[in-house]
Amino acid sequence: MIIPTRELDRRRLNVKSRLDQNDLDALLIPLGIHFEYLFGKRGLPSERLLVGIIPKDSDPFIISPSFERSNVKRSTGFDDIAVWEETESPYKVAAKEFADRGINGIIGVDPKLWILEVERLQEASGLTFKSSHPLLDFQRSIKSEWEITQLQAAAKASTEGILAAIPELKQGITEKEFLKIVQHEMRQRSGSEEAFGLIQFGSNSALPHGIPSDRKLQNDQVALLDCGTPVNGYQGDITITVPFGHPKDYKEIYEIVFEANRMAFDAEKAGIKPSELDGIARNHIESKGYGPYFTHRLGHGIGMEVHETPYIVGSNQIPLVAGNCNSIEPGIYIPGKFGVRIEDDVWCKANSAERLFDTPRHNFD
């Protein structure tokens, strides 16, 4: 993943500007999704402490194992890297850096930081640490123009990969076999090695999140294809449901789900509550007599993670804002028969919404 320097600078400045209103003196970010978001280096946390610090009143810096310094400098562009040796306590080194740099208030931590690390940092420094998830969730939920461009490319690669694979559906092919085909097609378009797919045939499609199995596709069955691939670390997540032959009652159910999808999409704009969007789609499905068969939320935020804030669910009363990106994916799942889900990735704007890629929906008969 390559994030432009100006994009990373903008993100850190935005976070810094919000520390005061969150009553924080600094933000501490370990390796992981938030470190990648704010410092540009991909990696997972390990037993060796490696964290980025964004203070309220001074410049960001990094604390790293000494032997990792050159790698961290190369991958982040940072020169200000405080190091600790293998024979030292990284928590005492961190505590000294906090004291030397005048960081003495409450420190916000990435909610994904291991509780053991929080306890050791508190013991070494005597400072107070608390989760900064409201700040980080809000920051990441509002996408920049650069992020929107990545998400549009991911939605396009995901959609076009699925569409390219659909002609390979044939009687007797298994869900696992088709998964390999659609993953290959998506990777060809995204340039990423990552690609996922929930491939569900026949009555398996009535499981909202079924795992691909050895089930074989038969005539007059439904194929539910929930797939995605990232572009430059930003995720695509598209569901296309198609008939293989002429499944009984498929067109009726499909049209109801399609109408629910479009009604929610048409209503999305800055200021609307996720609960309202969920209600619009759910009420339509209920009005057609299939309410008990729509068993999950309407959608979720999408960005560097496939599922992130904001969640489009009946309990979420926090209004959407311009720059949010989310899925809209109503579904009807009839046990023992089939399921239909139609999922689009959507960009919320001031007065409307825009699909990140306009996936074809009515050319599969």
Q: Kindly report, residue by residue over 299-353, the tens digit of the pLDDT.
A: 999 999 999 999 999 999 999 999 999 999 999 999 999 999 999 999 999 999 9
Q: What is the pLDDT of residue 113?
A: 92
Q: How far apart are CA 86 and CA 63, in angstroms?
A: 13
Helix or strand (DSSP H, E) at 239? strand 238-244
Q: What is the pLDDT of residue 364?
A: 54
3-class DSSP state of 332: strand
**Topology at the third CATH level for domain 5-140:** Creatine Amidinohydrolase; Chain A, domain 1 (3.40.350)
- CA torsion 5-9-11-13 (nearest 10°) is 180
Helices (H), the chain: 5-18, 33-39, 69-76, 90-100, 115-125, 133-141, 145-165, 175-190, 250-267, 274-287
Indicate the average pLDDT of the chain: 96
Six-digit token string for 308: 């992130």
Read off the pTM: 0.95
Residue 365 has pLDDT above 80, yes or no: no
Residue 363 has pLDDT above 70, yes or no: no
Contacting residues for 40 by C-beta, under 8 A, at least 6 apart: 1, 3, 8, 75, 76, 77
Mean pLDDT for 265-281 is 98
DSSP state of 277: H
Query: How far lies 139's CA from each of 134, 310, 360, in Å?
Result: 8, 11, 32
Closest CA to 342 of 354, 353, 358: 358
Q: How far apart are CA 98 and CA 55, in angstroms?
A: 9
User: Domain 142-355 has what CATH class?
Assistant: alpha beta
3-class DSSP state of 339: strand
Six-digit token string for 45: 């946390």
Count Cβ neighbours within 10 Å for each residue of 204-213 and write b for 16 or more, e otherwise: bbbebebebe
Q: What share of the chain is helix, strand, coil (3-state, %, to 5)?
A: 40, 20, 40
Domain boundaries along the sequence of the chain: 5-140, 142-355
pLDDT tens, residue by residue, 152-196:
999 999 999 999 999 999 999 999 999 999 999 999 999 999 999
Q: What is the pLDDT of residue 209?
A: 87
Six-digit token string for 43: 């990696």
CA-CA-CA-CA torsion sign (76, 80, 82, 83): positive
pLDDT tens, residue by residue, 51-65:
999 999 999 999 999
